[in-house]
Amino acid sequence: MKIASSAFANGENIPSKYTCDAEDFSPPLEFSEIPAGAKSLALVMDDPDAPGAGGFVHWVIFNIDPQTFQIDENSVPQNAIQGQNSAGRSSYTGPCPPSGTHRYFFKLYALDAILNLDSSATREDVERAMEEHTLAQAELIGLYRRP
């Protein structure tokens, strides 16, 4: 399974359009090689370099249709559920590091189940629900340093 973005390559800088320094849009993402048998996809974007235990969770989406091969810029797939990020919102919160260059991990999971969770679910809730249901996973890493 693979995850990529037309806005930035793996290990490269995330354009400011997708951060707190500009529009704060979610970036476009493309998925490929979804395994047969997947019943849903889940996506978690986090910053392990952020201060505090566990870093900062920027975006949690689950119950994405496994026939979804892209998420357009500033959008959420139809019928997918956005969980709670570290800002306490059920939405995307773009990179906004306090200092230095941070790494942002976009982690995609193919699951053999649909998660019985709602928009109050946190990354930890989603990770617990995914246990023993993950068929494959992929990640895309973007970097950002505030100007």
Cβ contacts of residue 2 below 8 Å, gap of 6+? Answer: 31, 32, 33, 138
pTM of the model: 0.97
Whether 49 maps to a domain, the answer reads no
Whether 76 maps to a domain, the answer reads yes
The count of structural domains within the chain is 1
Reported as a single tens digit per residue, the pLDDT across 12-64 is 999 999 999 999 999 999 999 999 999 999 999 999 999 887 899 999 999 99
Range of the domain at 88: 2-42+54-144
pLDDT at site 51: 86
b/e map of 15-40 (b: 16 or more CB within 10 Å)? bbebbeeeebbbbbbebeebeeebeb
User: Phi/psi at 17 (nearest 5 deg)?
Assistant: -50, -30
Whether 65 maps to a domain, the answer reads yes
Whether 48 maps to a domain, the answer reads no
Reported as a single tens digit per residue, the pLDDT across 101-143 is 999 999 999 999 999 999 999 999 999 999 999 999 999 999 9
Cβ contacts of residue 28 below 8 Å, gap of 6+? Answer: 5, 6, 7, 70, 71, 72, 73
pLDDT at site 11: 98
Whether 61 maps to a domain, the answer reads yes
Whether 96 maps to a domain, the answer reads yes
Any idea which residue has 């709670």 for tokens?
84
List the CATH number of the domain containing 34. Answer: 3.90.280.10
pLDDT at site 54: 80
Any idea which residue has 């320094």 for tokens?
21
Whether 47 maps to a domain, the answer reads no
